[in-house]
Structure 1
Amino acid sequence: MSHYYGICQRYHGKVVSISCRDGRKHVGRIVRVSPRMVYIQPTGGVRGGYGYGFYGGWGWGYPIGIPLAFITGVVLGGLLFW
C-alpha cells in the first residue's frame, strides 16, 4: 500500500489511469492523497475515450476517493497514448 501512496504522491496534479482489483479503471487528475485514499477528479470524455479533456474539457465531475488497498496499477496519463 505504501508503494501506491508514493506513486500517487509523485503524480499529484497529473492525469492518471488507476486500475482497481474489481477490474474498473478510473481516469482523472489526482487532487489529494492521504495514507489510505487517493482522490481523483474525473476528466471529461471518460466514457468515449481516454478522458484527456479534448471532448468536454478538464475537470468535469466531483473528486472521487479510491482506497489505496484496492489499487492494482497507476499509469501516468500521457503514457496511455503510446
Structure 2
Amino acid sequence: MSRCDHYYSVCRRHQGRNVRIVEHSGRQHAGRIVRVSRSHVFLEPRQPQRWGFGYGWGWGGYGYRPYAYPVALAAISGFALGALLFW
C-alpha cells in the first residue's frame, strides 16, 4: 500500500470531521473534510464564529457553505484528527 493509498483511506474514514493536515513543505491546513478523491482531499476551512444580527450576516449561516479547497494526497506528511486541535 502506497502512502497516497494510506492517506486516501484515512481521509475517507474521517470525511465530515475536523482535521489538521501537514504537508512535506511544512504548510498546515485545518478544516473539515468535505470530499475525497483519489488524488486530493477537499477541506472546508474553519470560519470564525459570528454572533449577533445585522445586515450582511445572514441568519446564522443557514444555507451558506464556504468554499472547499484541495490538498494533494501526495503532499501529506502528517494527519491529526479531533476538534480539540482547533476549536
On whether the aligned pair clears a TM of 0.5, the verdict is yes
Structure 1 residues 21-40: aligned runs within 5 Å:
21-40=24-43
Provide the rounded CA distance (Å) in 1 between the counterparts of 2:23 and 2:84. Answer: 18
Provide the rounded CA distance (Å) in 2 between the counterparts of 1:44 and 1:18. Answer: 17
Deviation at 1:42, TM superposition (A): 0.2
- Aligned partner of residue 30 in structure 2, secondary structure: strand
TM-score scaled to structure 1, two decimals? 0.75
Q: Unmatched 5+ residue regions in structure 2? A: 52-60
CA offsets 1:26-79 (integer angstroms, 9 cap, x no match): 00000000011000000024xxxxxxxxx4489874101001000011111335
Whether the aligned pair in 2 keeps the contact of 1:39 and 1:65 (CA below 8 Å) is yes
Structure 1 residues 1-82: aligned runs within 5 Å:
1-45=4-48, 55-56=49-50, 61-78=66-83, 80=85
Identity of matched residues, %: 42
TM-score scaled to structure 2, two decimals? 0.71
Aligned length: 72
Give the root-mean-square deviation of aligned CA atoms. 2.3
